[in-house]
Amino acid sequence: MFKPSVQNLLSALPSAAGGEVSETLAAGLAARVERIVSRGQASPVGVWYDQHEAEWVMVLTGRARLSIEGEADEVVMERGDAVFLPAHCRHRVAWTDPDQPTVWIAVFMKSDPSPIA
């Protein structure tokens, strides 16, 4: 039987000094939830994510900038900001704050969900 547990997503953070740290918090047949901790990391120059899953990602703490292929301006993300990236939306992390942890929550979905009005 499943036993509920409480977890604080902002405590006991990994340092991320040696690289970004991703942890799966929950997973099912159609979706996966991850906590990602960054501190000054960015995608390597010229490397773009082209995922077969849709992704909804939110910055809980810290700051980041995303580049989305075909868009002139970077997406600036601060605490509380979220973005939906459809499957195969090529994107990269352009910058994360080197002076503090950037904590992300990412929800990966097997197919693009219906928009909510």
Given a cut of 80, is residue 92 above it in pLDDT?
Answer: yes
| Domains detected in the chain | 21-109 (2.60.120.10)
Say what the pLDDT of residue 108 is. 96
CA distances from 32 to 12, 22, 57 (A): 21, 12, 12
> CB-based burial of residue 93 (10 Å sphere; 0-12 exposed, 13-18 middle, 19+ buried)?
buried
Average pLDDT along the chain? 93
Nearest to 37 by CA among 57, 13, 67, 66: 13
Say what the pLDDT of residue 17 is. 87
Say what the pLDDT of residue 82 is. 97
Question: Cα separation of 82 and 104, whole Å?
Answer: 9
Say what the pLDDT of residue 5 is. 85
Given a cut of 60, is residue 117 above it in pLDDT?
Answer: no
Q: Whole-prediction pTM value?
A: 0.89
